[in-house]
Amino acid sequence: MTEARFQRMKDLPSTHLLGAGTAMCAGCGGLAAVTEVYDVLGENTVFVNAAGCMTLLSVYPFTPFRGSWLYTAMASAPAGAQGVRDALDILRAKGRITPEEDLQVVVLSGDGAAGGIGLSATSAAIDRGLDFIYLCYDNEGYGNTGQQTSSATPHGALTATDALRSGFAGWKKDLFAIWVANKPAYAATVIGGEPLDLARKLEKARSMDGPRMILALAPCPAGWGYDPEHSVEIARLAVKTGIWPLKEYADGETVHTRLPHPRQPVENYLKLQGRFAHLFEPARDEPRLKEIQDAVDAYWAPLEAEHAGG
Amino acid sequence: MYRIRFHGRGGQGMKTASRILGTAFFIEGFEVQDAQRYGAERRGAPIFAYVRADRTAIHERGVIGRPDLVVVADDTLVPVSAAGVMQGIGPDTVLLIDSAESEKTWRERLNLQGPILVLPRLIPLEPSEMAYVGTECAAAAACLTGIISLASVRQAVQQELAYMKAGVVDRNVEIASGAFARMAAHSGIVQEGGTTSHHDRTVPSWVDLPADDIGESSPAIYGAATSVAVRTGLWRSMRPVVDTSRCNRCTWICGSFCPDSAIARGSEGYPQIDLDHCKGCMICVAQCPPHAIVAIPEAEAVAQEKEGAAS
């Protein structure tokens, strides 16, 4: 029922709550997601921001938000959210704020804090059943300091910590699966380049209580090595190639909200980005490209079989 | 000791410029420091990097306060006080600006006693060639010192960019050689500054400030979206312009994809671009279904506006 608000692109808000004039890079895919999320959640939102790119959103005395914003260290944003939620609950219990004045508590964090430095505090917050939304903008590296490797860096990508320039040998950590294993109220993957899918999921998330996670892949012109104008194109290709599955988890079940069909080869996505250029130049690195494609194929194989069968 | 500062925008290769110049000095037998000013790394935002070079060990640390040479890769940064381009410029400091405007214009504008040189642009740089500016600036700076050979500059470029494609490296070497040649008449204009010691430092006269009341020292901001007071439109090198004759007025497309809340639906349904805040990412240009938004160089757009206002 709540999803009825966003049927077409035309239904998306035409004015944005988030103020312009922030320090985010031109073409920032993370800022695109945060802008779209804020539009759906509305003004009664308080952000608890783990250190990262987005902490530069609010630099005193300038803020793009219409309400409060709290800055925490990388590891402790969920703890900050707990404190804010508790305070709001006390105000509610004492009758000092009405239910309409209550705020949605949102942790805003990059992948470095979400999947690495801040993971244990997050896990504990889910264990306690904290009523909050955890919004992660995942630009697949420590972007604010020049794109060093994080646990969300994808296989083969070059980062600033890769002195040998051979590409990340590890594999991107599956933060969605980690959250689902903790049995939250809701979890979803989104991307700014698919605003309608994002708006529907946020609309659903805001109507629920308990721990909820929104994981937004955030194309990053500076860190991924592409011209800012390609941000949305790259976001779309992440979905069309199946490298970024759009899905949601609720009531113990994970559902894919998009089945890319026909699924494009991953190299259509990879070749637009400087961080993967070494897979194509001076010579194609066929084994590496195959490894990446195989991993994506393996992910989709059961879903595609089920779809074909049904 | 030589103290050289490079100012540019994120994406123009200022860090690379400092590395190339530092390596060129090193090849010439100098002790070298080169560093980028740590900060948030933002495309389009003001960035600076610096190089110290001396024949003996360098004990100075930190940002260069009194530069012998300041290289400005983007002339729109000069009036931006936060960029700190003019910081510490003295009568002996050489200022080298990559600009389409003349030395005379800059001299009148800045009222500086020291030498001002203009590095004319070799080619109308495409956005994709933005990073070549750094190489150009590094080579020009090397020439101005008069003690770095072209061979060392070429070797430094090859060494620092070794990870790039052969074609790109060759293009950078070519650009470096061109910039070096164009500065030949001024070779040696940059003079080494003397050594400084903390003993020479003028001790500031301290003023006791009593602790303010918390409400005054950390006032709360109750205003919403105060960030709009920051004019990020200054970052832009290209400007999106709407051709209303082709526009379908589907502003939910461009307006939703603009990451900076800078496109609103105007009174007649056409997109209204907030030029005070548009950072020039050009996502709207790339995503517009009828291709009704075009990108034109900001300088051209400003010139057209001036003409329009004059006539």
Cα B236 to the center of its chain, rounded Å:
12
Q: Which residues of A touch B129 (CB under 8 A)?
A: none
Average pLDDT over chain B, rounded to an integer: 90
What mean pLDDT is predicted for residues B99-124? 86
pLDDT at residue number B307: 87
A57: chain B residues, CB-CB within 8 Å: 227
The predicted pLDDT at position B194 comes to: 83
Residue among A23, A64, A230 whose CB faces B40 most closely: A23
To test the contact with chain A by mutation, choose from B128, B267, B281, B287 the residue with the greatest count of A C-beta atoms within 10 A, namely B281
When CB atoms are compared, the residue of B127, B163, B256 closest to A165 is B163
- Between CA B19 and CA B3 the distance in angstroms is 14
The band of A287, judged by pLDDT with boundaries at 50, 70 and 90, is very high
Question: What's the confidence (pLDDT) of residue A104?
Answer: 98
pLDDT surpasses 60 at B181: yes
pLDDT tens-digit series, residues A156-204: 999 999 988 899 999 999 999 999 999 999 999 999 999 999 999 999 9
Going across the sheet that includes A211-217, the strands are A69-72, A45-50, A104-110, A132-138, A211-217, A186-191, A247-250, A253-256
Q: For B22-62, how does the pLDDT look when each residue is reduced to its tens digit (9 = 90+)? A: 999 999 999 999 998 866 557 777 889 999 999 999 999 98
Q: Place B211 in a pLDDT band, splitting at 50, 70 and 90.
A: confident
Q: CB distance B225–A65 less than 8 Å?
A: yes
Q: Looking at chain B, which residue has its C-alpha nearest residue A28? A: B259
A-B contacts at Cβ under 8 angstroms: 151
Q: Do B229 and A21 touch (CB under 8 A)?
A: yes
Closest residue, chain B, to A30 (C-alpha): B259
A83 pLDDT band, cuts 50/70/90, is: very high
Tell me, what's the pLDDT at A133?
A: 98
Query: Which residues of chain B neighbour A56 with C-beta distances below 8 Å?
Result: 40
Cβ-Cβ contacts under 8 Å, A192 against chain B: 257, 259
Chain B CB contacts of A10 under 8 Å are 250, 252
Instruction: Determine phi and psi for A154, rounding to 5 degrees.
Output: -80, 160
Question: What's the alpha-carbon Rg for chain B, to the nearest Å?
Answer: 23
| Res B176 pLDDT > 80 | yes
Domains in chain A, number: 1
pLDDT category of residue B293 using cuts at 50, 70 and 90: very high
Residue A1 pLDDT level (bands cut at 50, 70, 90): very low
B211 vs A27, A60, B18, B220, CA distance in Å? 42, 20, 42, 17
Residue B299 confidence class, pLDDT cut points 50, 70, 90? confident
User: Residue A125 above 90 pLDDT?
Assistant: yes
CB-count exposure of residue A236 (10 Å: 0-12, 13-18, 19+):
middle
Task: Among A71, A198, A229, A237, pick the best mutation site for testing chain B contact (most B Cβ within 10 A).
Answer: A229
Checking DSSP bridges between strand B69-72 and strand B263-265, what pairing results, if any? unpaired
- Domains of chain B (ranges plus CATH)? 2-196 (3.40.920.10), 230-310 (3.30.70.20)
User: Which of the two residues, A3 and B292, has the higher pLDDT score?
Assistant: B292
Using a CB–CB cutoff of 8 Å, tell me whether A66 touches chain B.
Answer: yes
Nearest to A282 among B165, B264, B281 (CB): B165
pLDDT in tens, A96-112: 999 999 999 999 999 99
Contact (CB<8Å) A25/B261: no
Nearest-CB residue to B43 (from A9, A64, A221): A221
A297 touches chain B (CB under 8 A): no
Check whether B294 has a pLDDT greater than 80: yes
Token digits of residue A148: 């060093």
Closest residue of chain B to A15, computed from CA coordinates: B264
| Mean pLDDT computed over B67-71 | 97
Q: What is the pLDDT of residue B91?
A: 92
Q: What are the E-state strand segments in B153-302? A: 238-242, 263-265, 271-273, 293-297
> Which residues span the domain enclosing A42?
2-309
d(CA B180, nearest CA chain A) in Å: 28
Predicted structure pTM score: 0.84
Q: Which residues in chain A have Cβ-Cβ distances shorter than 8 Å to B49?
A: none
**Which pLDDT belongs to residue B132?**
87
The residue in chain A having the minimum alpha-carbon distance to the alpha carbon of residue B39 is A145
Residue pair A238/A55 in contact (Cβ under 8 Å)? The answer is: no
Q: Output the pLDDT for position B41.
A: 59
| A27–B contact, CB cutoff 8 A | yes
Contact A269, A236 (CB under 8 A): no
Higher per-residue confidence, A35 vs A146: A35
Q: Per residue in B219-260, pLDDT tens?
A: 777 899 999 999 889 888 899 999 999 999 999 999 999 999
Please, are residues A146 and A25 in contact by the beta-carbon 8 Å criterion? no
Among B45, B166, B221, beta carbon nearest to A23: B45
- The answer to whether B66 and B88 have CB atoms below 8 angstroms apart is yes
Q: Which pLDDT value is given to residue A109?
A: 98
Facing residue for A228 by CB, picked from B221, B252, B283: B283
The predicted model gives B254-275 an average pLDDT of 96
For residue B279, give the chain A residue with the closest CA: A26
pLDDT average, residue stretch B134-150: 96
- Identify the bridge partners of residue A19 per DSSP, sorted by sequence position: none
CATH label of the domain that carries residue A215: 3.40.50.970
Residues B160, A264: Cα–Cα separation, whole Å: 36
**How many Cβ atoms from other residues are within 10 Å of residue B173's Cβ?**
19
The pLDDT value recorded for residue A267 is 98
User: Tens digit of pLDDT for each residue in A193-236?
Assistant: 999 999 999 999 999 999 999 999 999 999 999 999 999 999 99
